[in-house]
Amino acid sequence: MYLTDRSATPEADTAPARRRGPGPKVAPVVLVLGTVSLITDVSSEMVTAVLPLYLVTTLGFSPLGFGALDGVYNGVSALVQLTGGHLADRIRNHKLLAGLGYGLSALCKPLLLLAGSIGALGTVLALDRTGKGLRTAPRDAMISLSTPVERQGRAFGVHRAMDTTGAMLGPLAAFFILRAAADGYDAVFGVSACVAVLGVVVLLLFVPGRRRDTPDDEAETEARPPVRVGEALALLRVPRLRALAGCAALLGLTTVSDAFVYLLLQRRAGVGEEWFTLLPLGTAVVFLLLAVPLGALADRIGRRTVFLAGHVGLLTAYALLLWAPDTPLLVPAVLALHGAFYAATDGVLPAALAAVVPEHLRASGLAIVGTSQALARFCCSLAFGAAWTLWGDGPALAGSAVGLLCCAMVAGVVLRPSGGSR
């Protein structure tokens, strides 16, 4: 089993993809979807940037309570991804499902103004993540289906770079709003809602509803019966997809959530509360700079190598948080490694699936792997929050670091190249 590389010649490399020929390096639909993600991420990351501090310092949540909510924030989308991916393949309209997901998340942003208890916040965050779960697989399927197999890494890198531009602007906007507004958190949630609506409008107006096929392809599509649940689940019998999903879950079990990383970094480096919302900005800047180069590098040298290297970078960040001396370089070093981890993994993993999953099941395949990873990270958030509450932040992070090292070694063996491929 191996993460696919440019030398692979998989059976899922369908005729439409081959007929597209050289063409532009990045399809227009990738750029439009990147714009939608940019706008939506400005909205989402405004909330994400202030949420840890809002919950822990303003509402007085314990690390365990925050871990539970953070788990909900990441775990609910995992359960919904399978539904979104399957429905998108079944009705053959990825834009419709993506639009529903973006719209639901936009509707939830104003509700944060009304939620003040753990139950209410959990419900709102669950609905918001339901929207994310519905849209993720259809959106990535539109990117994958518009791009030849050998350029998947670059295409996802471009999309993730644009997405990360929004992730960079969101915390910056939250920072200035908190400094300027009297009721800072309410202002952040209100502006976030307005920006989310703009993202939905761009999607509806500029993303094509269906991929343009040749007459022969259209006839074949119409003749094909709707995708059944059993047909989508049968993808788990594909060895390469099963290994990808398993390794994504294994590594996700020891991937500490972003919010916990920033809280740990704040405590370790003594970052003031007024600067806390800028920590995600550091991760986003590095992600933005490296997403396209590392995606293109993965297309050339093999996606396994880049994917595993990203986890080595994350492990190094954990080590710095645990044992590095308290110097001014600690914050930029940890954030740089954190951003490099996402640049090396976030787009490379779905890019690897293009050579594994047939076109008519592409969203379902993406959802299976994404769900396995997100559910594992949900469990990690709960476990890390509990470990922090019981034993403290240092032992909790040390346990995650040891676990990540072991899991990365296992993934390196499972995803090793076969034959002469890289």
Residue with tokens 């539109």: 142
Q: What is the pLDDT of residue 19?
A: 39
Q: What is the pLDDT of residue 75?
A: 64
- Indicate the pTM of the whole model: 0.80
Instruction: With CA atoms as reference, report the closest residue to 173 among 336, 34, 49, 33.
Output: 49
Instruction: With CA atoms as reference, report the closest residue to 384 among 234, 282, 252.
Output: 252
Q: What is the pLDDT of residue 225?
A: 65
Report which of residues 9 and 237 the model is more confident about: 237
- CA dist 28 and 23 (Å) reads 11
Instruction: With CA atoms as reference, report the closest residue to 105 among 198, 169, 184.
Output: 198
Q: What is the pLDDT of residue 421?
A: 42
**pLDDT tens for residues 180-220?**
876 678 888 889 999 999 999 999 999 987 655 444 444 45
